[in-house]
Amino acid sequence: MTEKHQIIIVGGGAGGLELATKLGHSMGKKGLADIILIDKSRTHIWKPLLHEVAAGTLDSSEDELEYLAQARWHHFRFRLGKMTGLDRDTQEVVVAPTYNADGEMIIPERRFRYDTLVMSVGSLSNDFGIKGVKEHCLFLDSTEQAERFQQKMLDAMIRAHAGHKAIEKGQLDVAIVGAGATGVELAAQLHHVARQLSAYGLDTIDPSEHIKLHIIEAGPRILPALPERISNSALKVLSKLEVTVHVNERVIEITDEGIHTSSGQVIPARFKVWAAGIKAPDFMQELAGLETNHINQLVVHTNLQTTRDERIFAMGDCAACPMGDSGSNVPPRAQAAHQMASLVYKNIKRKLKNRTLVNYHYKDYGSLIAMGRYSTVGNLMGNLTGPFFISGFIARFVYLSLYKMHQAALYGWPRAILIAFLHFLRKGIDPQVKLH
Ligand SMILES: Cc1cc2nc3c(=O)[nH]c(=O)nc-3n(C[C@H](O)[C@H](O)[C@H](O)COP(=O)(O)OP(=O)(O)OC[C@H]3O[C@@H](n4cnc5c(N)ncnc54)[C@H](O)[C@@H]3O)c2cc1C
């Protein structure tokens, strides 16, 4: 009996989980291939929701998906563990031992053989080696980190409310480094949450007086990757919310006291969040001789095969995929990960039939910035009209539909619509922010 083709996908995020689900449905179900998804977490949450988890407007337990259940329903296997290495000679992925919260080993080191390997391990915040970032900043790279931020902020507010002393200047201030979508969206969410918590009983805290929000950006404007009109609209909303925006300020060091910039400013803040730039995980820096770039991404051809090994594909944030002749790479976005998952799906099937692989062309459908309950601004790409600006209710609707598309890829449309309906019902009975 010939062995089944073994497809290993490492990383079950925005792209990897959609790919495993699709492959499971077509090839796994018919017994045409063995599909294994490896992830270091037991549950999946769509990463663009993490700033809402951090602010406390979303309880991660309501939106997370269990990998083991998804695997059972969609005909693939899930294996828990963190990939740490690769052996291209034996075609094996090396996965480190897994420990529980008490430090006991629950799974020893393992190796998984592949015929086709797909790397979709996403990205992490890039501290660019700046002094003090690791020690003093909070990050939003995982659900655990986002929850940690939410807990720390809530604890600090409870402490300030219950304390006998007057609230000190800066005791609850937050400084966010990086005015990309994550930084801007988080600032707006925090503004709303601070007022909610005060209304829920922490009423000795006056958010306008006691919680100052800062965004620090090295470039000349916020949302540097987006068109200027979106940046201007978002800035107007932030100034109404009294968020202080510092542009042209390059961070040189972070200390307990605050953020130090090259112009000599020190922006004092109790909480510092790092949301400036990304890199692929460090274990990919030197991964069995595969070609990588300065931010550890695996360099791929436009068909998403890595340049030095056609058995290995890479997609999403961890892939450096050229964007036409522009000289730049496909941006690290959820919509790119979603599109790449569809292309890798096609190409794996074509490869197994010895057909020529197709190339990936990034389709930018636009960008939307959700500023909490206050506003959503962005642009959409019209086929004939080119980009056009939208805001308000329509923008909010389109923003939410991006997540619905991800859920539809994982559950199918009927279940995705049912989940949306259940969420709507829960909104009527749950508090607007997480209070524990
Ligand atoms: C707060 C925030 C807000 C964002 N908002 C938006 C937005 O509004 N719109 C947008 O388009 N994009 C947004 N993004 C970017 C978007 O989330 C990413 O581009 C997208 O998730 C990338 O998908 P991916 O599949 O490449 O990786 P991810 O979705 O990050 O998934 C990577 C997976 O790999 C796993 N993994 C990592 N390392 C290992 C390992 N060594 N072994 C095993 N498993 C591993 C992780 O656990 C994770 O499940 C946002 C990102 C953040 C952090």
At 10-67, the pLDDT tens digits run 999 999 999 999 999 999 999 999 999 999 999 999 999 999 999 998 888 888 999 9
Average pLDDT over residues 160-176: 86
Nearest CA to ligand 1 atom 19: 333
Average pLDDT over residues 404-412: 93
Nearest CA to ligand 1 atom 8: 48
Confidence of residue 317 (pLDDT cuts 50, 70, 90): very high
pLDDT at 166: 78
d(CA 364, CA 349): 25
SS3 sequence of 178-215:
CCCHHHHHHHHHHHHHHHHHHHCCCCCCCHHHHCCEEE
Which atom of ligand 1 is nearest the CA belonging to 17?
25
d(CA 79, CA 77): 7
Which atom of ligand 1 is nearest the CA belonging to 283?
41
When the pLDDT of each residue in the chain is averaged and rounded to a whole number, the result is: 93
Of 326, 327, 302, the residue nearest 315 (C-alpha): 302
pLDDT at 76: 98
* Cα-to-centroid distance, 37 and ligand 1 (Å): 15
CATH dotted code for 5-123+280-352: 3.50.50.60
Question: 32-41, 186-195, 405-414 — which one is most confidently predicted on average?
Answer: 32-41
* Cα-to-centroid distance, 164 and ligand 1 (Å): 42
pLDDT at 14: 97
pLDDT at 247: 97
Taking only the tens place, the pLDDT of each residue in 252-270 is: 999 999 999 999 999 999 9
d(CA 166, CA 85): 53
Which atom of ligand 1 is nearest the CA belonging to 146?
1
Confidence of residue 382 (pLDDT cuts 50, 70, 90): low
d(CA 434, CA 417): 24
Strand partners, 47: none
pLDDT at 2: 65
pLDDT at 67: 98
Average pLDDT over residues 269-286: 95
Nearest CA to ligand 1 atom 7: 48
C-alpha 349, offset from chain centre: 28
d(CA 112, CA 80): 12
Taking only the tens place, the pLDDT of each residue in 322-338 is: 998 778 999 999 999 99
Confidence of residue 420 (pLDDT cuts 50, 70, 90): confident
Confidence of residue 424 (pLDDT cuts 50, 70, 90): confident
Average pLDDT over residues 198-213: 87
pLDDT at 167: 80
Which atom of ligand 1 is nearest the CA belonging to 50?
1
Which atom of ligand 1 is nearest the CA belonging to 84?
41
Which atom of ligand 1 is nearest the CA belonging to 316?
26
* Cα-to-centroid distance, 1 and ligand 1 (Å): 39
pLDDT at 271: 96
Pocket test for ligand 1, best of 333, 338, 369 (most atoms within 8 A of CB): 333
* Cα-to-centroid distance, 317 and ligand 1 (Å): 7
* Cα-to-centroid distance, 120 and ligand 1 (Å): 9
Which atom of ligand 1 is nearest the CA belonging to 13?
31
Q: In percent, how much of the chain has pLDDT > 70?
A: 98
* Cα-to-centroid distance, 45 and ligand 1 (Å): 9
pLDDT at 385: 62
Pocket test for ligand 1, best of 86, 120, 121 (most atoms within 8 A of CB): 121
What does DSSP assign to residue 61?
H
Nearest CA to ligand 1 atom 31: 13
Nearest CA to ligand 1 atom 38: 121
For the 133-274 domain, the top CATH level (class) is: alpha beta
Taking only the tens place, the pLDDT of each residue in 72-90 is: 999 999 999 999 999 999 9
Please give the sequence-ordered ranges of beta strands (E in DSSP) within 240-340, or none if there are none: 244-246, 251-254, 258-261, 266-268, 271-274, 278-279, 298-299, 305-306, 309-314, 319-320
pLDDT at 284: 96
Which atom of ligand 1 is nearest the CA belonging to 333?
19
CATH 3.50.50.60 in the chain is located at 5-123+280-352, 133-274
Is the model's pLDDT at 164 over the cut of 80? no
CB 314 within 8 Å of CB 298: yes
Pocket test for ligand 1, best of 47, 401, 402, 406 (most atoms within 8 A of CB): 47
* Pocket residues: Cβ below 6 A from ligand 1: 10-16, 38-41, 44, 47-48, 50-51, 82-83, 120-122, 140, 181-182, 281, 316-318, 332-335, 337
H or E stretch at 142 = none
Q: Which is higher by pLDDT, 400 or 337?
A: 337
Average pLDDT over residues 298-320: 98
* Cα-to-centroid distance, 123 and ligand 1 (Å): 6
Confidence of residue 353 (pLDDT cuts 50, 70, 90): very high
* Cα-to-centroid distance, 124 and ligand 1 (Å): 8
Is the model's pLDDT at 274 over the cut of 90? yes
pLDDT at 381: 74
Using a cut of 0.85, tell me whether the model's pTM lies above it. Answer: yes
* Cα-to-centroid distance, 47 and ligand 1 (Å): 5
Which atom of ligand 1 is nearest the CA belonging to 368?
8
